[in-house]
Structures are given as C-alpha cells and as structure tokens.
Amino acid sequence: MTQHPVRKARRAQYALTPTRARLQSLVGGRPRRPRRIAMLSVHTSPLHQPGTGDAGGMNVYIVELAKRLAELDIEVEIFTRAIRSEDAPLVQLAPGVLVRHVTAGPYEGLVKEDLPAQLCAFTHGVLRAEAGHRPGHYDLVHSHYWLSGQVGWLAAERWGVPLVHTMHTMAKVKNAALAEGDTPEPTARVIGETQVVEAADRLIANTAEEAGELSYHYSAREDQLAVVHPGVNLDIFRPGDRAAARARLGLPQDAPVLLFAGRIQPLKAPDVLLRAVAVLLEREPGLRERLVVPVVGGPSGTGLAKPESLHKLAAQLGITDVVRFHPPVGQAELAEWYRAASALVMPSYSESFGLVALEAQACGTPVVAAAVGGLPVAVQGGRTGTLVQGHDPDTWADALHQYATRPELVGQQGAAAARHAAGFGWSTAAAATADVYAGALARQAGRLARSRLRIS
C-alpha cells in the first residue's frame, strides 16, 4: 500500500523544519516515548457511565489506559464531543490526564449515526486547541473507533505526527455476525474504516485474531499491526466474599445467580440468555424456586429503538419471576455483582475482546461466553469458564446447567479465573502501548532524517 499523498507532502514539509524533540528521538539510536499525546474519542466520553447509551468497554479502555500512560510520564489529552452545555471545556480526569470537550453539533438529540456530519466541526475544535500551543505540542495522535480515526487522520497530517488507531469494533466483522433483526453497519462506515487503516502508522488490535481481521477485511499491512491485550483494574476487580456480596445486593445465599452485565442491544444477545433460562427451567422446574438472573445495564445502539423489548421477552417466556433488571452501576458496585454471581453470561455475536469477562474473572467468577472475537483469549474454556459455539438456546441451557447445579465447579473455575485475570493488569497494557508509540515515533524520525539527508 502506497503512502497517502497528502500525508507524504505534509511530512516532507515538516522534514524541512523538524522540532528539537523529534530530532532527539534519534539520539543514541533508541526509540523514545512521547511526552504528550492527543487521544480522540468522538462519540463517547470517558466521563460517561459504562453500560448506558454508547458508553461501554471502550470508555473503560480509554480511562484506564490514559491513567496508566500518565504514570509512565506520558501526558494524555482526551478530546471528546460535548453533549451538555454545562460540560466544562477542560476536566482533569487524573494527574496527567485531561478531557477536552469539543463543541460539535447540538448538545443533545444526536445519535452515533448522526455524528459523521459533525466531524468537520469536531476536527476544527481539535486543531484550534492545538493552535493555542507552540508547534510540536502533541507528539502523537491515538484515535479510538472509526469516527475518531477520521479526525485523527487529519490532525496527524496537519501536525506532522504519527497516527496510532484502535478500531475496537469493525463494520465488516459486525455485519458478518449480525443478530436476528439487528441493523447492518452502513457502507459509509466501511469506507471510513478503510481510509483510517490506510492513513494510520500503527493499528493496535486487542488480539491476534483481530489483527488478522484487519489484514483480511481492510488490507492492513503487517508492519502496521501491533497486538496489545486490554487490561483490568485489579484494585477494584478482585476476589471477595460471595456471601457478603449477596447480602449487600439482597440476593439469596443459596441461589444459582446467572448474571448479564453490559449494554442491552442485539449485538450483546441478552435475549439468548433469557431463552436459555426458559429452556433450563422447562427441563428442571425445581430450579425456579432458587434461580436468579440479574440483568445489569441499559439500552444502547439499536436496542434504544425498543428499550422494553427484553422485559417483554421475559414476560413472553414466563420467567419474570427469576429475571431482575437493574440499571447500570459504577465499577465498585459492578464488582459486587460479579462476586455475587455463580457465572457471568456473555452470549455476544461479536466482541473485539470483552472487558467484562476479564472483570468478572478478576473477581473470582467463571464466565460462560460465546466463542467469538477476543472472548477465547479472555476466557480459558474448560478452566476459567465455558466457551459456547453458536447461539442456540438449547446449547446455552446445557452450558448454564452446570453452573446452576454444581457449586463446586463455580469455586474451582472461579479460583482459576482470578489467577488468569491477574495477568491482564492495565500497567502491562499501557507499557506495551507506549512501546507501540515509541516505534511509531522512531519510524517517523528515520523518515525525517532521510529527508534531511536528501535535502542537504
């Protein structure tokens, strides 16, 4: 793949007058880490509550990664769209981490699908913020999701810095595994993702499988790809007393608890869990008196069109007596739900990784997950949980039965799950990400040096 012509011209211009910091990256021949990066999250703010609207695993990813990068002396400024007039222009999320609210379109009433029309305004806000500083204020751009990638592409070219991009999800992958009745991702997104892949210096994938999908579906080059597993906050998500957690949440001590935690939308397939529970109770009616199925989360994405559909499905299946709906909660309370559960259930049709699977395991809870995307990396099937092929309710009922009837299995796999998750700390992920940044800067420095030699 040839270098993008606009980017090539822009970098040639910057090669004439490189900043001292960029030249210093050549000193001693050692790659340097950036001093300050611009991190872009157009459609969802790191300050939003995960589990509502478009806030989910990506929000957790950005917050935790930014905090750990700051601990490595890499300052992070996160640009996101302001959705309320009272949003302060600048918010300190943590030491070394700032959130910049950019005005782009009306504060309210815009869904994610409307945002491409506001990317020009958002880009203007990003460039305007940089213009208030000396040249070279940002060493690198790291964009998240394709909308941010479009902005990052232009900002990186304007500033003459590398663009690192994380997809999180991909249109072609999602469209290949749609839930029944779900809406396909539009062609405009496919085109936009293709452009971002072409423009990016490095692409961070959550797993080797995702890297393969970037290569297969979007023709990403091998030298663009880096695999960095996401992490889990081991200070918050850690094993604890299951009985105490159940007492605090008002759950029966002897109940099999099959938990769903996440955004309620067809992609996450909470309906598969409910249908499987109905099959399970039909096979073993005696479970009805003890079984509890908490659903913790709010409608999102295409699920917003029918926010009550899951409640109606529970009624149609005759299982409203065992299903309990709860709104999204903060991380500390979510950890309590994980500790209280016999198993976390993730029947998703597509997951780039599945951070909630790591969170639950870190709390000592096994996970029953669909064998899709990054979940086979996050969950060790047969050791820390069960991986299920397909989405047939009968098959899922088979998988769930053992967690509803074998408390000794819950204990054994829960202990193994906690050990497994302990290897996925965010500090490890941040260090690996910082190495990706250093590699991107080193390659750019090499290009600048070669350009200077040609000019001289």
Query: pLDDT means per 10 residues in the chain (456 residues)?
Result: 45 41 45 93 82 71 96 97 90 96 88 89 96 94 97 96 96 89 91 97 96 97 96 95 97 97 92 98 96 90 63 97 94 96 96 93 98 95 97 98 97 98 94 97 80 66
50 labelled binding-site residue: yes
Shared domain check, 127 and 52: yes
pLDDT recorded at residue 308? 85
58 is in an annotated binding site: yes
Parent domain of 220: 5-231+426-449
Q: What is the dihedral of CA 259, 265, 266, 272, to 10 degrees?
A: 20
254 and 368 in one domain? yes
71 is in an annotated binding site: no
Tokens read off for 284: 């073993």
- Within a domain: residue 236? no
Q: Is 8 annotated as a binding residue?
A: no
Per-residue confidence (pLDDT) for residue 54, from 0 to 100: 63
- Residue position matching structure tokens 């589990």: 51
Query: Do 189 and 333 belong together in one domain?
Result: no
Judgement on whether residues 246 and 168 belong to the same structural domain of the protein: no
pLDDT of residue 119: 95
**Is 218 labelled as part of a ligand binding site?**
no
Does the annotation place 445 within a ligand binding site?
A: no
Q: Is residue 456 part of a domain?
A: no
Helices (H), 284-367: 309-317, 331-340, 355-362
Q: Which of 241, 246, 223, 40 is nearest to 123 (CA)?
A: 40
Per the annotation, does 169 bind a ligand?
A: yes
Is 198 annotated in a binding site? The answer is no
CATH at 406: 3.40.50.2000
Classify residue 97: in a domain, yes or no: yes
Domain assignment present for 180: yes
Residue 237 in domain: no
Strands (DSSP E) contained in 208-352 are 225-227, 258-261, 293-296, 323-326, 343-346
CA separation for the pair 262, 55 (Å, rounded): 10
In this structure, are 138 and 11 located in the same domain? yes
Nearest-CA neighbor of 39 among 64, 15, 21?
64
Judge whether 84 is annotated as a binding position: no
pTM: 0.85
* Model confidence pLDDT, tens digit, residues 376-399: 999 999 999 999 999 999 999 999
CB 94 within 8 A of CB 66: yes
Residue 112 annotated as lining a ligand binding site: yes
402 a known binding residue?
A: no
The pLDDT value given to residue 10: 42
Residues 168 and 293 in one domain: no
Residue 186 half-sphere exposure toward CB, CA atoms < 13 A: 9
**Number of domains within the chain:** 2
- Report how far apart, in Å, the C-alpha atoms of 185 and of each of 196, 212, 378 are: 16, 20, 26
Q: For residue 388, say whether it is annotated as part of any ligand binding site.
A: no
In a domain, residue 274? The reply is yes
- Is residue 272 domain-shared with residue 179, that is, in the same domain? no
